[in-house]
Amino acid sequence: MALIEVTNLKKSFGNQEVLKSISFSVDKKEVIAMIGPSGSGKSTLLRSLIHLEEIDNGSICIDGDFLVKDGQYANQADIRKITGKMGMVFQHFNLFPHLTVKENLILAPKLRKSESMEEIEKRCMDLLRKVGLSDKANAYPSNLSGGQKQRVAIARSLMLNPQILLFDEPTSALDPELTGEVLKVMKDLAEEHMTMIVVTHEMGFAREVANRVIFMDGGEIIESNEPEQFFQHPQHERTKAFLHKNWK
């Protein structure tokens, strides 16, 4: 069974229909790169999965539980439980500026109270080591570079052991020379078979790391294929036009 199952998802902002009956599914361990021109609805789609946007109609099923079924949302407690299976990394990091790196990581698991402080702190330091920032545990976000901030944000989202990680343009706010360190961490996660959906403009990442590329335009999924096929033999005219403009 698919880990994420989206059917006939519809969403409008006012009169503007931003998602026009989207259906797709994601299997466990898949890494999906979602690409497309700005305004194509890919970020809105990603945000809908974790309930940062409310959809107007359709269904979203996560790991067998319906977040929303035919436009009817689950109750508050179930929504929390279901969205808790996912972590999210934002374009602008959204670290908490008044907390140190370590405090950013341990806040959510500490408030959840389901494990001991020792376990939480150990995982915190393990994750910081994994993203190469154990020496920054006591630094405040304002003293980090953009790439470091995003790596902290990824570590923070991993603290709750999510089954799925959503990335909303994780490298778009970074200087070009800093994108590499973030992409490296994401690549490591992919190799550990974390299920990931990555909205990105990084064609290199989409091609090398993703198992599947989904191309969106005008609120629709135009094409969905394996990277090799997608980049070498795009089927749709709009895909060809987009690739021609953005990747060579």
Partner 1 sequence: MVDYWNRIVWPMLEGAQMTILLFFIAILVSIPLGFILTLAVQSRFKPLAWLSQIYITVMRGTPLLLQLLLICFGLPMLPVVGEYLVFDRFVAACIGFVLNYAAYFAEIFRGGLISIDKGQYEAAKVLGLTKWQTTTRIILPQMFRVALPAVANESITLIKDTALLYAVAVPELLHFAQTAVNREFTIVPYFIAGVIYLAMTLILTVFFKWLERRYKYE
**Nearer to partner 1 among residue 165 and residue 221 (C-beta):** 165
CA quadruple 79, 26, 243, 246: dihedral positive or negative? positive
Q: Which two tokens stand for residue 46?
A: 């990603």
| DSSP 8-state secondary structure symbol assigned to residue 39 | T
Least gap, CB of 52 to partner 1 (angstroms): 6
**Between β-strands 4-13 and 16-26, what pairing exists: parallel, antiparallel or unpaired?**
antiparallel
- Measured from the CB of residue 101, what is the shortest distance to partner 1 in angstroms? 12
Q: How far is the CB of 8 from partner 1 (least distance, A)?
A: 24
Least spacing, CB of residue 67 vs partner 1, in Å: 13
Q: What's the closest the beta carbon of residue 165 comes to partner 1, in angstroms?
A: 11
Q: Is 122 strand, coil or helix?
A: helix
| Comparison of 50 and 128: residue with beta carbon closer to partner 1 | 50
Tell me how far, at minimum, the Cβ of 229 lies from partner 1, in Å.
33
Compute the distance between CA of residue 144 and CA of residue 131 in angstroms, rounded to an integer: 14
Distance between CA atoms of residues 31 and 24, nearest Å: 14
Our CB check for partner 1 shows the closer of 103 and 188 to be 103
> CA 210 to CA 205: how far, in whole Å?
7
Under DSSP, is residue 93 helix (H, G, I), strand (E, B) or coil? coil
Q: Looking at beta carbons only, is 112 or 240 nearer to partner 1? A: 112
CB of 32 or CB of 101, closer to partner 1? 101
Rounded to 5 degrees, φ, ψ at 147 are -65, -40
Say if CB 95 and CB 131 are below 8 A apart.
Answer: no
CB atoms within 10 A of CB 180: 11
Please give the residue ranges that form the binding site for partner 1 (CB under 8 A).
50-52, 80, 83-84, 86-88, 90, 92, 94-98, 107-108, 111-112, 140-143, 156-157, 160
**Cβ distance to partner 1 smaller for residue 185 or 213:** 185
